[in-house]
């Protein structure tokens, strides 16, 4: 039997799609469903470019469903709402993050942790419940169930706020759920890229003492003066690493490069936590026993290495709304480079080389237009 969603009439939308593992995107027309009773139709104004977008369009994770229309950092304006929609109205400023559907009936969904749902449908490159493939925010519009839409306060810019829908929630939730959002605690951030600089901003907003650990000494001045980092450590300098041994309550590893974890364990205080957020293509250099079960499983000199799943990858819709509201109140946005739709391939090349400070955002509303 066809689902109610699949029976809705379709509308055409303009999008940028990758068609093979070259990862190059070109304009295409895609189908979006008409606005259902519980749906919100959104004119997309901005969409962030996440590193996972690059991995997906190039099929690095061997899961690409071509054509891939990437993008899960979507912001824009509501243009239409279904008859059952009460939370949003036409003209509202909104965002859509990493998921667009779940079963809505399992224990996780009922408890407000729909990001744990085993039937989660991601914003792009995912099979929806009606069998169709989801298309993301590299498009001029999208239709989403109201459950998966968040409101953007008037003070939150739609361009600089877009990356928070992935990068922001990815760093905010582990800080919150591990009790690390307490003033005075010491946090280390490995990597000062798109994810790392947002982690720094939230940590400072929480009142934490922040140490950035980087392989790039040229980033020190910007980290200290612009981002307000308390300490900057070059990880390849043994003396600098030694100077911060045993000083951190937690380390948030945002690096996407493969690395050995062992040099960083000694930087933690006893019972400290290592939170892994980066997604390297190659396996981490660490015993498999350290990543099993979601409990403390590796002990070295009194230091616990933890791996926790679920919320640390994304967060619930409720978490995301809370994060956006907190960010708006404390002036937290991503530092972005705005690019036009015609420059997305160039931006992807720069992203692959790490040549962005710190997130690319596509100016969809002004530049993605039919030829």
The per-residue pLDDT for range 322-346, each reduced to its tens digit, is: 999 999 999 999 999 999 999 999 9
Asked if the model's pLDDT at residue 288 lies above 70, the reply is no
Residue 329 makes CB contacts below 8 A (sequence gap 6+) with none
Phi, psi values for residue 361, rounded to 5°: -130, 130
Strands, sheet with 248-253, edge to edge from the N-terminal-most edge strand? 231-234, 209-214, 186-190, 248-253, 268-276
Q: Are 364 and 46 in contact (CB under 8 A)?
A: yes
Asked if the model's pLDDT at residue 236 lies above 70, the reply is yes
Note the pLDDT of residue 300. 33
- Confidence category of residue 8, pLDDT binned at 50, 70, 90: low
Average pLDDT for 345-363:
96
- Confidence category of residue 286, pLDDT binned at 50, 70, 90: low
Which of 151-160, 197-206, 266-275 bottoms out in mean pLDDT, i.e. has the lowest? 266-275
Asked if the model's pLDDT at residue 301 lies above 50, the reply is no
The secondary element (H helix, E strand) that includes residue 242 is: helix 238-243
Average pLDDT for 201-205:
97
3 state DSSP class of 137: coil
Asked if the model's pLDDT at residue 305 lies above 80, the reply is no
- Residues of the chain above pLDDT 90, percent: 77
Which of 54-68, 139-153, 291-305 bottoms out in mean pLDDT, i.e. has the lowest? 291-305
Which of 9-23, 48-62, 151-165, 297-311 bottoms out in mean pLDDT, i.e. has the lowest? 297-311
Asked if the model's pLDDT at residue 125 lies above 90, the reply is yes
Note the pLDDT of residue 179. 82
What tokens appear for 295 in the block?
Answer: 């409990």
For the whole prediction, is pTM greater than 0.85? yes
Note the pLDDT of residue 86. 96
Note the pLDDT of residue 37. 98
- Confidence category of residue 39, pLDDT binned at 50, 70, 90: very high
Asked if the model's pLDDT at residue 309 lies above 60, the reply is no
Note the pLDDT of residue 150. 99
| DSSP E strands, the chain | 10-18, 25-33, 39-49, 74-81, 93-96, 99-101, 121-122, 141-145, 149-151, 186-190, 209-214, 231-234, 248-253, 268-276, 298-300, 303-305, 336-339, 359-362
Average pLDDT taken over every residue of the chain: 89
């Amino acid at each position: 039997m066809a689902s109610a969603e699949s029976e809705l009439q379709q509308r055409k939308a303009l999008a940028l799609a990758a068609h093979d593992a070259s990862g190059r995107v070109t304009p295409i027309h895609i189908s979006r469903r008409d606005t259902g009773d519980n749906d919100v139709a959104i004119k997309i104004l901005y969409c962030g470019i996440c590193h996972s977008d690059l991995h997906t369009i190039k099929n690095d994770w061997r899961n690409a469903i071509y054509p891939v229309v990437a993008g899960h950092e979507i912001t824009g304006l509501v243009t239409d709402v279904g008859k059952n929609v009460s939370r949003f109205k036409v003209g509202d400023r909104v965002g859509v993050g990493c998921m667009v559907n779940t079963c809505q009936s399992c224990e996780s969904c009922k408890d407000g942790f729909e990001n744990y749902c085993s039937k989660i449908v991601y914003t792009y490159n995912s099979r929806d419940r009606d069998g169709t493939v989801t298309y993301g925010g590299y498009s001029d519009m999208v239709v989403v169930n109201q459950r998966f839409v968040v409101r953007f306060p008037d003070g939150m810019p739609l361009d600089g706020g877009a990356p928070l829908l992935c990068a922001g929630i990815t760093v905010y939730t582990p800080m919150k759920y591990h009790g690390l959002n307490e003033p005075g605690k010491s946090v280390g951030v490995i990597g000062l890229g798109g994810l790392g600089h947002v982690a720094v901003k939230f940590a400072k907003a929480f009142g934490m003492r922040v140490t950035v650990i980087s392989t790039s000494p040229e980033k020190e001045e910007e980290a200290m003066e612009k981002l307000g980092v308390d300490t900057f450590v070059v990880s390849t300098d043994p003396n600098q690493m030694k100077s911060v041994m045993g000083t951190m309550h937690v380390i948030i590893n945002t690096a996407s490069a493969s690395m050995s974890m062992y040099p960083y364990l000694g930087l933690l205080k006893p019972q400290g936590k290592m939170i892994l957020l980066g997604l390297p293509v190659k396996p981490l250099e660490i015993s498999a026993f350290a990543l099993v079960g979601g409990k403390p499983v590796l002990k070295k000199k009194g230091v616990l290495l933890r791996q926790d799943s679920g919320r640390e990858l994304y967060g619930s819709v409720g978490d995301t709304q809370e994060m956006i509201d907190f960010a708006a109140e404390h002036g937290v946005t991503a530092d972005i480079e705005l690019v036009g739709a015609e420059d997305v391939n160039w931006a992807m090349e720069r992203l692959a080389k790490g040549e962005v400070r710190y997130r690319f955002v596509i100016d969809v509303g002004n530049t993605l237009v039919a030829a």
